[in-house]
Amino acid sequence: MAKNGFKVIDSDMHIIEPVDLWQRYIDPGFRGVAPIGTANSASDLNLIHPDGRLWGRDPLRAMPTGRPAGRNFEEVEERYRPHADRGYSNEVQLEAMDIEGIDVAVIYPSRGLHALGEPDMDPALAAAVARAYNDWLFDFCKADPQRLLGAGMISVFDVDDAVAESRRAVKELGFRSVFLRPNMVNNRPWHDSYYEPLWDTLEELDVPLGFHEAIFTGLPEVGWQFGQNFMLRHTFCHPVEQMLCVASFAGAGIFERHPNLKVAFLEGNCSWLPFFLWRLDEHWEQMGDVWAPELKMAPSEYFKRQGYASVEADEEPVKYAIDWMPNRNLVFSTDYPHGDSKYPYAVDRFLRLGAGNPEEKMGISDEDKRRILWDNCAELYGIKEPVAS
C-alpha cells in the first residue's frame, strides 16, 4: 500500500469486541459468570457482570460525575458511529486500515483490556476469559491473516496458565505477541521470581511481550488520587505505569536474566524515555552496587537492547527520544478506534511532524520515519516481508 512512499505497521491497533464475545466463546462451564459487553455509545468499552456490576473497573467509573460528556466524546461518537453500526467487524477494520494507509496491524483489545482487571480473580475463570478472547481474535484475523496479526491475552493470576496460553497463542493460533497490563496483579511486581517461567517461555517462543494500560482498572493504578477526573487520571496512568514497568525490566534485572526477551511498552508515549532512563542510570551509578548488583550495564543499555515504546501520531517531542538514543526502539501506533486516536489522519499527522518549523528543531528525517513506521516494528514482531494489500 505505502502512504506517501512509506510502508506502515500499526504496532497497537485496537478492535472493539462484540458484546457477546465471552458468551459465545468461553468454556461452557464459565458462561454463567463471564463478562458481558455494553453498547451505550460508539466508543463504549465497558464490561459488566451478569448481575450488572461493572467488570474489571474502579467503581468510581460507574458513578455519575454530574458533568457533560464533552466535545471529545461527541466528536468520537460521530466519527465512529458508522463503524459501530457495522459491529466493528473485521471488514470494517480492514477498511479503516486502507483509509489510514496501514499495511499491517498488530491487534490489541478494547473491552479485553479490562477483562482481567478484577482484583483477586479466580485463576480458572481468568484463564478461560483469556482463552475465549484469543479464540475469537483468531477467527477475527482470518479475514486477512497477512495484515491482521494477533496479540494474545494471557492471565498471570496463575503463571502456569500464562505459560500454557502463551504456547497455544503462538504455536496453535499463530499470534505474533502476547500482552499484559502494566498494573501489578495480586500486588506482585514484575521482577518477582514468580514470573520467571513466563519470561523463559517467551524467550523460547521468540515472541515479544506487549504492555498496554487502560484507565479506571480494578487493579492498582497510578492516578487514583484524582478520583473521577478522567483528564488527570488518563494523563498519568498510561505513561507512569509504563515507567514503573520499564524499571522492573531494565532496572531490577529481568532483561539481565533474559537477554533475548523483547518487550514493547505501548500507548504510553515515548518522549519520557530520555529523562527517565537518564535518571534511572544516574541512580544505578550511585547506588547500583547495593540495590542492583546483578546489572552488568546501565539500565538504559538494557532498554536499548530489548525495549520498545510506541509513538503517538502527533507526539512532537519524539525528536528528543530519537536524538537521545539510536532509533531502533520506537514504533508507530494509531490507537484506532479509541477517543485519542487521530484516525483517519494519524499517519498523515505523523508524517507532518516538524513540517514548517523554521528552525527544524522538531524535524524528523525520512529515515527515522521509515524506521518508526515499519523497520522497528517489523523487527519487534518478526514481520519479514511487505504484504500486498
3 is a domain residue: no
Compute the distance between CA of residue 74 and CA of residue 217 in angstroms, rounded to an integer: 23
Compute the distance between CA of residue 339 and CA of residue 230 in angstroms, rounded to an integer: 12
Q: Is the pLDDT of residue 354 over 80?
A: no
Q: Which amino acid is at 201?
A: T
Residue pair 276/314 in contact by the 8 Å Cβ criterion: no
Q: How far is CA 151 from CA 38, 112, 178, 179, 319, in A?
A: 23, 11, 5, 6, 28
Instruction: Grade residue 355 by pLDDT with cuts at 50, 70 and 90.
Output: low
386 is a domain residue: no
- Residue 219 has φ and ψ, to the nearest 5°, of -85, 165
Instruction: Grade residue 363 by pLDDT with cuts at 50, 70 and 90.
Output: confident
65 is a domain residue: yes
User: Which residues, in sequence order, are CB contacts of 269 under 8 Å at separation 6+?
Assistant: 238, 239, 309, 310, 311, 312, 315
Please state the domain count of the chain. Answer: 1
- pLDDT, greater one: 387 or 44: 44
| pLDDT recorded at residue 1 | 66
Element (H, E) at 127: helix 123-141
162 is a domain residue: yes
Q: CATH number of the domain at 86, please.
A: 3.20.20.140
| pLDDT recorded at residue 356 | 54
Containing domain of residue 324, as a range?
Answer: 9-381
Sheet bearing 307-311, strands edge to edge: 9-14, 104-108, 148-153, 177-180, 209-212, 263-266, 307-311, 330-332
The closest of 363, 362, 386 to 374, measured between CA atoms, is 386
Q: Is the pLDDT of residue 389 over 50?
A: no
Compute the distance between CA of residue 14 and CA of residue 35 in angstroms, rounded to an integer: 19
| pLDDT recorded at residue 292 | 98
CA 361 to chain centroid, in Å, comes to 29
- pLDDT, greater one: 69 or 233: 233
The closest of 142, 173, 168, 139 to 154, measured between CA atoms, is 168
pTM: 0.95
**pLDDT, tens digit, for every residue of 193-213?**
999 999 999 999 999 999 999
Going 236 to 253 to 282 to 272, the CA torsion angle's sign is negative
| pLDDT recorded at residue 387 | 53
The closest of 265, 139, 126, 288 to 208, measured between CA atoms, is 265
Q: How far is CA 165 from CA 56, 131, 172, 213, 365, in A?
A: 21, 7, 10, 20, 40
4 is a domain residue: no
Q: Is the pLDDT of residue 216 over 80?
A: yes
**pLDDT, tens digit, for every residue of 108-130?**
999 999 999 999 999 999 999 99
**pLDDT, tens digit, for every residue of 36-76?**
999 999 999 999 999 999 999 988 877 777 787 899 999 99
388 is a domain residue: no
286 is a domain residue: yes
13 is a domain residue: yes
CA 50 to chain centroid, in Å, comes to 27
